[in-house]
Amino acid sequence: MAVPRLRMTLETSPPTRVRWPEFSHVVFDCDSTLSGVEGIDVLARSLGRDDEIAALTDAAMAGDVDLNDVYAARLGMLQPSKQAIAELRSAYKRHTVAGAKEVIAALREIEIQVYIISGGLAEPVADFAVYLGIDPEHVWAVAARHDSLSGDWWQAGHGPVDERYAGFEGGALTRSDGKAEIITELLEGTRGLSMLVGDGASDLSAADSVDLFVGFGGVVKRDRVAAAAPVYIDTASLAPVLPIAAGPGGRERLATAAARKAFSEGTDLIAEGQVSFQDPKQKERLMAALRG
């Protein structure tokens, strides 16, 4: 699969100044990227189906099975209660990945647009987005509906509301190329460079829809993603996303102490080798730009 390479634009005015491109849009996956849990696995525990669903999740994310309909297969096993959904909301927040809130706040501070595209259930993901400071309108996730009277899941337009849940509303996220299609639609008509940050095979499959794909292995290292990602973060913190996305010009625009601290932490992690680059020259150019 062709994975995009970011085309560096080097400017030499003054001669010693190396410019790293600044991004206008950063798209995040949710599970195992912004939060350290897989939401479907959290729901599975409430039903005693941990092993079954975790195995399917791992196989899909590792690329061992076709991603088509994998979310439907996992969700089709579940009929979670409202209490289970509440636990998922809490679990996302309790397991927020290090640096996630700080990086998102800093990106928004310098007017970089931030999005979440997830195969998880829409309401818990949207609630987590609000917690992180992301506009709920910038969230794409699986739309399932819940009938508060019966406590059962149901698929809108497919039978009475008391029908047992057997799926979810179809859409692009049910296909292996779904994230790519959604990102393309999301960014249509926008200006500036875009970045996708994610941990799994579904994220890797969407790499061609952005200017740079950044793999994240701080929660779960997936060998396929680590081998193919042009940039790969192999540490538990998302802080490196900030200097990669904002560049040195972004650092100069950061106003808050927390944002500047996150930028410095990310820069240090890159310098220490916690972020790998398929093209070593990209790291050299980034570090040269950050050092001014």
Instruction: Tell me phi and psi for residue 16, to 5 degrees.
Output: -85, -5
Handedness of CA 45, 49, 50, 53 (dihedral sign): negative
270, pLDDT greater than 90: yes
Predicted local confidence at residue 169, as pLDDT: 59
In sequence order, which residues have a C-beta less than 8 Å from that of residue 10 and are 6 or more positions away? Answer: 18, 19, 285
**Structure confidence by residue, pLDDT tens digits, 142-196:** 776 655 444 454 444 444 433 333 345 566 776 667 889 889 998 999 999 999 9
- Domain 23-291, CATH homologous superfamily name and number: HAD superfamily/HAD-like (3.40.50.1000)
Task: Decide: 42 and 74 in contact? Cβ < 8 Å.
Answer: no
Give the distance between the most distant pair of CA atoms in the chain: 70
Handedness of CA 69, 100, 131, 137 (dihedral sign): negative
pLDDT band at 51 (very low <50, low <70, confident <90, very high): confident
pTM assigned to the model: 0.85
Predicted local confidence at residue 170, as pLDDT: 63
pLDDT band at 68 (very low <50, low <70, confident <90, very high): low
271, pLDDT greater than 90: yes
pLDDT band at 2 (very low <50, low <70, confident <90, very high): very low
pLDDT band at 100 (very low <50, low <70, confident <90, very high): very high
Predicted local confidence at residue 144, as pLDDT: 66
Report the number of secondary-structure helices (H) and strands (E) in the chain.
Answer: 12, 9
> What is the gyration radius of the CA atoms in the chain, in angstroms?
19
Predicted local confidence at residue 48, as pLDDT: 84
| Alpha helical stretches, state H, the chain | 39-45, 50-61, 70-75, 82-94, 100-109, 122-132, 178-187, 201-204, 223-228, 241-253, 257-271, 280-291
Percent of the chain exceeding pLDDT 70 equals: 79
**Structure confidence by residue, pLDDT tens digits, 241-254:** 999 999 988 999 99
Predicted local confidence at residue 215, as pLDDT: 98
Predicted local confidence at residue 148, as pLDDT: 47
Predicted local confidence at residue 26, as pLDDT: 98
- Amino acid code (one letter) for 184: T
Helix 241-253 × helix 257-271 angle, to 10°: 130
Rounded to whole angstroms, the Cα distance separating 9 from 134 reads 30
Predicted local confidence at residue 175, as pLDDT: 67
Task: Decide: 286 and 270 in contact? Cβ < 8 Å.
Answer: yes
Domain ranges (residues) in the chain: 23-291
Percent of the chain exceeding pLDDT 90 equals: 52
Burial 59-98 (b: 16+ CB within 10 A, else e): ebbebeeebeebbbebbebbbbeeebbebbbebbeeebbe
Q: Is 252 exposed, middle or buried (0-12, 13-18, 19+ CB in 10 A)?
A: exposed
> How many Cβ atoms are within 10 Å of 143's Cβ, its own excluded?
15
Rounded to whole angstroms, the Cα distance separating 184 from 186 reads 5
